[in-house]
A = this chain, B = another copy of it.
Amino acid sequence: MQSTSTHRPPRCLDCDTRRHCLAAGLDATGLDAFEHQVVLRRHVLKRHQRLVARGAPFDTLYSVQQGQLKTERAMPDGSRRQVIGFHQPGRLLGLESLGANSHRCDALALCDSTVCAISYPSLTRMMKQYTALTRRFHQLVGTELDRQQTSMLMLGTAKTPQRLAALLLDLADGGGDDGCPADTVTLRMSRDDIASYLGLALESVSRQLSQFRVAGLLAVHNRRIDLLDRERLRGIAMAG
């Protein structure tokens, strides 16, 4: 972890993403305990700043409060990197390290972001008492596994158009600040990141975007994408 501002953004009670985060479902007392015993601090990250480095000792999970991050993973020998996930507010980072002593992924901010550092030992302690917290934690873990399996399914069986359409729709859902689908998606990541995540060459991503544009499915303005025909995109994402 690298140096970050020590400024403390919204406390749990005032936090916009409380509804979706690990603390969701806690009452006022619980929320207070969570904030003081479990949340170690809040990190304010600048674009491209690293939050977690692979190999760092694991005792902290991270909850995205604002912004967006990517997690990356490399082969043991360093060859072949891949983006494993894009993380929007409410998602938990570091879960794949629960079985190890050290973090298994790098995590980097795609835009200016804030992240809550969560003490894993303290979380464990607090879960003994707060069933709602345990339930929520397990929910997030399950969702994460589910999401990854969906990614595996994409990487294993889907062609380029399906992969890209699915990602765009994914980013659009929950991309609206209200958590609702938005008709315009701002890509916070480079074409390179997208390609890596989808298991494609970056040129393929570029070409596919152009094809979607020509087909009238969307409009491309740099990293802003206007979804013009959600229905057809959804059809492509599902069945090709």
Contacts and interface: CB of A to CB of B under 8 A. Distances in A.
Interface of A: 73-77, 79-82, 84, 95-100, 104-105, 124, 127-128, 131, 134-135, 138-146, 148-153, 155-158, 196-199, 238-240
A145 B73 contact: no
Contact of A153 (B82, B128, B156): B82
Given A99-B140, A239-B79, A152 B155 contact: yes
Contact of A96 (B146, B197, B238): B146
Given A73-B153, A155-B156, A134 B143 contact: no
A153 B198 CA distance: 10
Number of copies: 2
Contacts of A127: 127-128, 134
Closest 5 A-B residue pairs measured CB to CB? A98-B142, A99-B142, A156-B199, A99-B143, A155-B155
A25 to B, nearest CB: 14
Contact of A75 (B81, B124, B153): B153
Nearest to A158: B80
B76 A238 contact: yes
A104 B146 contact: yes
Contacts of A135: 124
Nearest to A83: B156
Contact of A149 (B134, B148, B158): B148
Contact of A131 (B124, B131, B138, B146): B124
A138 B128 CA distance: 14
Contact of A157 (B80, B100, B124): B80
A24 to B, nearest CB: 13
A99 B73 CA distance: 24
Nearest to A140: B99
Given A75-B157, A82-B153, A100-B142, 8 more contacts: A80-B153, A105-B149, A124-B134, A144-B145, A145-B148, A152-B155, A155-B155, A155-B199
Contacts of A134: 124, 127
B238 A142 contact: no
B156 A196 contact: yes
20 contacts: A75-B238, A75-B239, A76-B238, A79-B239, A80-B157, A82-B152, A97-B142, A97-B146, A99-B138, A99-B144, A99-B146, A100-B146, A104-B146, A127-B134, A141-B145, A144-B145, A145-B145, A148-B152, A156-B197, A157-B199
